[in-house]
Structure 1
Amino acid sequence: MSSSESQYAKNHFGLNRWILTYAGLWVPDTKSKIAIFFFRVYAAIVFLFVNVWFTSTEFISIKDTKHDWELLIKNINFALTHMMGAFKCVFWFVRGNRLVNIIVRLQDERWHYEAVEDFNPGAITQDAKRTGIKYTFAFFMLAHMTLSSSYFPAFFTAVFRPHYVEDANGNLTFSQSLPYLSWIPFAYDTPLSYIIAILYQAGPMWSYAYSIVGMDTLFMNIMNYIAAHLLILKGAFRTIRQRCVRRVAERGGALEIREGLANSPELDAEMHREMRKCVQHLQTVINSCEELEFNHKYLTLGQILATLFILCTSLFLVSTTPVASSKFAAEGVYMIAMGFQLVLYCWFGNKVTVRASEVPDSLWHSEWLQAAYSFKTSMLITMIRMKKPLYLTVGKFAPLTLTTFVAIIKASYSFFAVLKKVND
């Protein structure tokens, strides 16, 4: 492997794998059968208790809040979020291997290129890796801030300032509502039982955070990696001749004939091989994008619809909550987290579309004038192919771009305005 190739980023999806492993989804990299067995047991417990049992209890509690408009909205919001988390877990068990196959194809070392002039593919992959880690960590922290802003105040209140109410006989009874509404299979009418109820509820909530963040950022990071490959291909197409000239010169071969009006046969053959490699690389990227779109489009549609409803109703809850209260902070952080989740989908989907549209221009600047007829033919066919936009969609209804993001934000605000007017 050349020094330029050694600069390529390694373990691009390491943080995503770590999060998904703790979520009980991604099997850890180990040859120990005992470790794998315990992980399987852990994954089964998490899935059955969190995604099946606990999610269903959240919907059961909806009937208890039907007379309280704000509690009902909040309950539906979290039930929708966690239902999408359960769907993502099921999706991983059914089609997760297809996402892994896409990652493996994109990480193939056949698609490595040497650096030349201002083209440094290793630096592109390093930058893409840093971007993936940054956005993954940001979403991970937002999810934890959402839960912490709700559970820590409730926990400290129960420990240091428990709330009691006096009945008609003068007896004091502990009374404190849980941060989120879900059916609890035992009474929590004492500070100790209330703390146990918080732990019973917080465990699944943190598990949801890992599975949702892990799945969403994995999807985001695959789009990020596809965009990085398209950026590399732009440079690879543009510098085909320079890289081939360097190789032929290092072998001591002839570069041009007829006073520079045409390439030598040796240089033409090298450029043809390099063009073939670049085209195969581009086709692999296109196929990976199309496969990601085919497998993820309906999950994306469900997430976008859920986010549309959640953003609208979260804005309503924030607008009706006192600014100085801890509840306002919890609702605000939750709304920001859901908005950031939408940004991840649309921003990186848009990046794929934009990078793909720039490939034909890079081909045009590939110093093709002296190349052979076969090279020019391949170049033209590739440019024509790339006229067709490359994008992911929201269930085939709309492209996953910034335009769609703006449309969702506008729709959320419109629905919020209607909801606010009806409530007033």
Structure 2
Amino acid sequence: MHILEFTFKILTICGCGRPDSWTTPYKRFVYHVYTVFILLLIHTFMLSQLLDIILTVDNSDDFTDNFYMLLAMIVSCCKMFALLINRSNIETLIDILTKKPFQPSEPDEVAIRQKYERLIQSNTLHYVILVESTCLCVTMTSLLTEFKKGKLTFRAWLPFDYSSSSRFLFVYAHQLISFTVGSVHHVACDSLICGLLVHICCQIEILECRLRKSVYNPEILRECAFQHNRIFKFAQMVNDKFKFTIFIQFVVSTLVMCFNLYQFTKSTALRAKYIQLILYMCSMLSQIFFYCWYGNEVKLRSRQLVTNIFEMEWFELDNDAKKTLLTIMRRGTVPIEFTSATVISMNLDSFVGLLKTSYSAYNILKQTQE
């Protein structure tokens, strides 16, 4: 059974996951070259925006025009590095999901995993549509406005004169392609992390299914206890590998929300970009919402497991089986909780807190300008 198949196709596209069939040295080399090309593409774009802020920007309006996109590209670069550095760890995590005790062994367990895989694929597909629709909107808005005026889509500092038509077209295309590729890195990393969170929920449901069967077959209780322990360890591995990436996303999303709200209050010259800004804000909010929603789901399901065990017909089991159930229940009293850099919990309260913090920061920025 394939795990996160659609997500890994996106990872392949963005240069962070070589196809399994590419095993020959020649194909490996080609993909390494492709990865380096993608790396240079998004980093040169991010660097041009950063240098523009450092060397060129001298007023608040120009700063806000560029800063929110710079933040998104910085996170995209961080996510690419996180995916490349953790490539072997990602393979290990997927390998764990395909082996015992996580591997489904009965038709009903297979059906549970297929249900969650369909959910992951649906979420990823809708997320791709939202993010790439934003990119398309940015591209079309730019072509209809900035391109006709001979202006770039995004402010940038470049070490050469791009006023000639050929150089302008090259820089213009470089910005739009880099922006789109950067958005794919967001989709790849976010869908991977959220997909792993969904699989933790899947394993908890499979564990509940096996526990219900243990009433008629107490011999599998030891395996259930082992699986429960492995679920906690698996969740800890996922949290350890991606906690700093999630933390950076939280901070950047707060800042982007603040600066996007400020963009809405600017002059009527920005009316043509309202749809673009709305889609961009929805994309940034979706990133954090998925993290918080499924982080919250993992916590609730791991806590609900204790209640579900108590509602079983456990009184018919022998003392050894009851002790095993009590061990699982005792461990489950402390639910699985994901945090970003051990600072922010990934739950719906954190998502609401992000919205409030963004609005407060926006008010402070607006008062400063006034």
- 1:25-424 equivalence runs, <5 A: 25-30=16-21, 31-51=23-43, 53-63=44-54, 66-108=57-99, 110-111=101-102, 112-114=104-106, 120-156=108-144, 162-163=148-149, 176-189=150-163, 193-242=167-216, 244=217, 271-272=218-219, 274-320=220-266, 322=268, 325-424=271-370
Between the aligned partners of 1:231 and 1:323, the Cα distance in structure 2 is 53
- CA offsets 1:52-76 (integer angstroms, 9 cap, x no match): x332222001135533323312312
Q: 1 CA distance for matches of 2:128 and 2:341?
A: 26
Could you tell me how far apart the structure 2 residues matched to 1:138 and 1:192 are? 37
Secondary structure of 1:304's aligned partner: helix
SS at match of 2:172: helix
TM-score by length of 2: 0.92
TM-score computed with the length of structure 1 as normaliser = 0.81
- The DSSP-based 3-state class of the residue aligned with 1:358 is helix
Distance 1:300 1:15 in 2: 21
- Equivalent-residue separation in structure 2 for 1:330 and 1:158 (angstroms): 14
Identity of aligned residues (%): 20
Shift of 1:156: 4.7
Change in Cα spacing, 1:314 to 1:278, as seen in structure 2 (3 Å) is same
Q: Kindly tell me: are residues 238 and 389 of structure 1, through their superposed partners in 2, closer, same or farther at Cα, counting changes over 3 Å?
A: same
Are the aligned partners of 1:234 and 1:358 in contact in 2 as well (CA < 8 Å)? no
Q: Secondary structure at the match of 2:11?
A: helix
Amino acid in the other structure paired with 1:47: L
Amino acid in structure 2 at the alignment position of 1:140: V
The one-letter amino acid of 2:292's match is C
CA gap of 1:69–1:280, structure 2 versus 1, over 3 A, is: same
Secondary structure at 1:396's aligned position in 2? coil
Give the unaligned 5+ runs of structure 2: none
188-197 vs 131-140, which moves further: 188-197
Q: Quote the residue 1:256 is aligned against.
A: none
SS at match of 1:350: helix
- Tell whether the 8 Å contact from 1:113 to 1:236 is kept in structure 2 after alignment: no
Aligned partner of 2:15 in structure 1 is: 24
C-alpha deviation, 1:226, in angstroms: 0.7
Deviation, structure 1 residue 48: 3.0
Please say if residues 347 and 402 of structure 1, whose CA atoms lie closer than 8 Å, have aligned partners that are also in contact: yes
CA distance in 1, matches of 2:145, 2:364: 36
Partners of 2:55 and 2:253 lie apart in 1 by 24
The 1:306–1:178 alpha-carbon spacing in structure 2 relative to 1, beyond 3 Å, is: same
What is the CA RMSD across the aligned residues, in angstroms?
2.1
Shift of 1:157: 5.1
Displacement after TM superposition at 1:405 (Å): 0.8
Contact preservation (8 Å) 2:215, 2:316 = no
In structure 2, do the counterparts of structure 1 residues 59 and 158 end up closer, same or farther at CA, with 3 Å as the change threshold?
A: closer
| CA pair 294-275 structure 1, distance change in 2 beyond 3 A | same
Is the contact between residue 226 and residue 352 of structure 1 (CA under 8 Å) also seen in structure 2?
yes
1:38: how far off?
Answer: 0.7
